[in-house]
Amino acid sequence: MNGFRKINQILKSKPTLEGAGVKLKRVFGYYEKPLLDPFLLLDHFGSDDPEDYLAGFPWHPHRGIETVTYMLAGEVEHGDSLGNRGVIYSGDVQWMTAGSGIIHQEMPKRFEGEMRGFQLWVNLPKSHKMMGPRYRDVRSETIPEFSPNPNVKIKIIAGQMNGTNGPVQDLVVDTEYFDVAIAPHAEFEIATKRNYKTFAFVFEGSGYFDPDSSDPVQADHLIVFTQGDKVKIHTQADPVRFLWVSGKPLNEPIAWRGPIVMNTDEELMVAFQEYRNGTFIKK
Same domain, 269 and 209: no
- Amino acid at position 253, single letter: P
Let me know if residue 257 belongs to a domain.
no
Same domain, 129 and 157: no
Q: What is the DSSP string of 13-49?
A: -EEEEETTTEEEEEEE-GGGTTTTTTEEEEEEEEES-
What's the pLDDT score for residue 211? Answer: 85
Let me know if residue 83 belongs to a domain.
yes
Structural domain that includes position 270: 12-141+265-283
Let me know if residue 164 belongs to a domain.
yes
Same domain, 20 and 92: yes
Same domain, 135 and 220: no
Among 219, 228, 222, smallest CA distance to 200 is for 222
102 bridge partner residues: 62
Same domain, 131 and 23: yes
76 exposed, middle or buried (CB, 10 Å; 0-12, 13-18, 19+)?
A: buried
Same domain, 228 and 271: no
Round to whole Å and give the CA distance between 280 and 283: 10
Let me know if residue 258 belongs to a domain.
no
Let me know if residue 94 belongs to a domain.
yes
What's the pLDDT score for residue 2? Answer: 60
Let me know if residue 82 belongs to a domain.
yes
What CATH code is carried by the domain that includes residue 161? 2.60.120.10
What's the pLDDT score for residue 1? Answer: 43
Let me know if residue 44 belongs to a domain.
yes
What's the pLDDT score for residue 76? Answer: 96
Same domain, 147 and 229: yes
Round to whole Å and give the CA distance between 205 and 28: 20
Same domain, 122 and 164: no
3 state DSSP class of 57: strand
What's the pLDDT score for residue 282? Answer: 85
Same domain, 120 and 46: yes
Same domain, 169 and 237: yes
Same domain, 92 and 183: no
Rg (CA), the chain: 19
> What is residue 271's DSSP assignment?
H
One digit per residue, the tens of pLDDT, for the chain of length 283 reads 468 999 999 999 999 999 999 999 999 999 998 899 999 999 999 999 999 999 999 999 999 999 999 999 999 999 999 898 999 999 999 999 999 999 999 999 999 999 999 999 999 999 999 999 998 999 999 999 999 999 999 999 999 998 999 999 889 999 999 999 999 999 999 999 989 999 999 999 999 999 888 899 999 999 999 999 999 999 999 999 999 999 999 999 999 999 999 999 999 999 999 999 999 998 6
Instruction: Name 252's Cβ contacts closer than 8 Å, sequence gap at least 6.
Output: 123, 125, 126, 263
What's the pLDDT score for residue 214? Answer: 85
Round to whole Å and give the CA distance between 125 and 253: 10
Q: Do residues 267 and 256 touch, judged by C-beta distance below 8 A?
A: no
Among 231, 7, 261, smallest CA distance to 121 is for 261
Same domain, 124 and 160: no
- Amino acid at position 89, single letter: Y
Say how many domains are in the chain.
Answer: 2
Let me know if residue 156 belongs to a domain.
yes
3 state DSSP class of 174: coil
